[in-house]
Amino acid sequence: MRVLGVDPGLTRCGVGVVEGVAGRPLTMLGVGVVRTSADAELGHRLVAVEQGIEAWLDEYRPEYVAVERVFSQHNVRTVMGTAQASAVAMLCAARRGLPVALHTPSEVKAAVTGSGRADKAQVGAMVTRLLRLDAPPKPADAADALALAICHIWRAPAVNRLQQAQAAHRQAQVSSRKVTR
């Protein structure tokens, strides 16, 4: 499974591609950030984020895109920019027919470090260890993007089984209704 992780942001949008399957060693294929100038007009910044993500999708051809779920922060201005960058990432994936998974920051931290309250340094250290890197990716947005991809690779099989079970249950309910009529 090849996953593009996106840690959305308008100034720095972290991106990282990880390949592998749950229970096996994972491989980092690429990591970086898409940067925009805080002085640029919002529309131009969003286009720059789109172009950056499209370039990553073209180069690495992931099968899935994992995006950090935007959560309420104290600074509304910051959360708006994050939400806009997140929407751009989802749009780029949807345009290509790629499945998008949203993971909360605490879900990603728990998957990678074992604690949903881990700090940036702990996440970076575990990403470094799990991907057998020489040093933590910089800036932290890049490490967070890799953590998102790792989280998705590890969680996707269980989520898929759950979705299949729910679909089978719904189908069984529909079938039993038809029989009783």
Angle between helix 42-60 and 76-95 (nearest 10): 40
Q: What whole-number distance in Å separates Cα of residue 25 and Cα of residue 19?
A: 9
Which residue stretches of the chain are H helix? 42-60, 76-95, 105-113, 120-130, 140-180
Of the candidates 7, 19, 54, 59, the residue annotated as catalytic is: 7
Q: Is 5 helix (H, G, I), strand (E, B) or coil?
A: strand
Among this protein's residues, is 141 annotated catalytic? Answer: yes
Q: Is 123 helix (H, G, I), strand (E, B) or coil?
A: helix
Among this protein's residues, is 144 annotated catalytic? Answer: no
Q: What whole-number distance in Å separates Cα of residue 107 and Cα of residue 117?
A: 9
Of the candidates 41, 59, 63, 141, the residue annotated as catalytic is: 141
Q: How many CA atoms lie within 13 A of 166 on its CB side?
A: 6
Q: What are phi and psi of 67, to 5 degrees?
A: -120, 140
Q: What whole-number distance in Å separates Cα of residue 16 and Cα of residue 31?
A: 4
Of the candidates 39, 68, 107, 134, the residue annotated as catalytic is: 68
Write out the catalytic residue numbers.
Answer: 7, 68, 141
